[in-house]
């Protein structure tokens, strides 16, 4: 168990489901309430946030290494699909979208991005739709950027390019 728990090293990019891509900047030992804890110190640059995760809880909270290239290509292929918009109430769909984003699963996040994308010639999005779309797209772009060693705006442009091409095909 201990060997499995310490599977991240300083400098690794990791995905924390609720916050997206961060970097392990330090391994710390702290005594909290009389118990000695080993902690991963994660830095999320975009949010200017530091998070400490006990090494023995990393797996339980869903912390993982960056996705494999196979998973990333599956996620990018998902973006090319036809958007699936359910005819349920927005509040219920919004909850489902948030759950998919917070799951940390790249393909689920891609589904949210695909379903909420609006091409320039399509009707305007509501404020909450745009917020959820931007959160999902940003999460996807950060992981793509970390995997391909490019900056986030370049990764976002790659994602939007795929979405625009797919929209041109599906909106005919």
User: In the predicted model, what is the mean pLDDT of the chain?
Assistant: 88
69-170 topology per CATH: Methane Monooxygenase Hydroxylase; Chain G, domain 1 (1.20.58)
Percentage of the chain modeled with pLDDT above 70:
96
pLDDT band at 3 (very low <50, low <70, confident <90, very high): very low
Contact 168, 162 (CB under 8 A): no
Q: State pLDDT tens for residues 6-52.
A: 488 899 899 988 888 999 999 999 888 888 989 999 999 878 899 99
Mean pLDDT of 141-169: 92
Give domain 2-65's CATH number out of 3.90.1150.10, 2.40.10.170, 3.20.10.10, 3.40.190.10: 2.40.10.170
pLDDT band at 172 (very low <50, low <70, confident <90, very high): low
pLDDT at 87: 86
Domain assignments of the chain as residue spans, ordered by start:
2-65, 69-170
Q: Which residues are CB-contacts of 4 (< 8 A; sequence separation ≥ 6)?
A: 59
């Amino acid at each position: 168990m201990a060997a499995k728990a310490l599977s991240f090293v300083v400098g690794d990019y990791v995905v924390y489901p609720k916050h997206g891509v961060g970097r392990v900047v330090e391994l710390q030992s702290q005594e909290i309430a009389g118990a000695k804890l080993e902690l991963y110190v994660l830095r999320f640059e975009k949010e200017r946030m530091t998070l400490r995760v006990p090494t023995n809880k990393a797996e339980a909270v869903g912390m993982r290494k960056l996705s494999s290239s196979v998973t990333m290509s599956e996620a990018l292929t998902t973006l090319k699909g036809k958007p699936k918009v359910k005819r349920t109430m927005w509040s219920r769909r919004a909850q489902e979208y948030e759950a998919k984003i917070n799951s940390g699963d790249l393909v689920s996040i891609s589904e949210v991005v695909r379903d909420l994308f609006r091409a320039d010639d399509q009707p305007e999005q509501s404020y909450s739709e745009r917020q959820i779309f931007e959160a999902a797209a940003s999460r996807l772009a950060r992981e793509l950027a970390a995997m391909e060693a490019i900056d986030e705006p370049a990764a976002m442009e790659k994602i939007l390019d795929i979405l625009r091409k797919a929209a041109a095909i599906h909106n005919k």
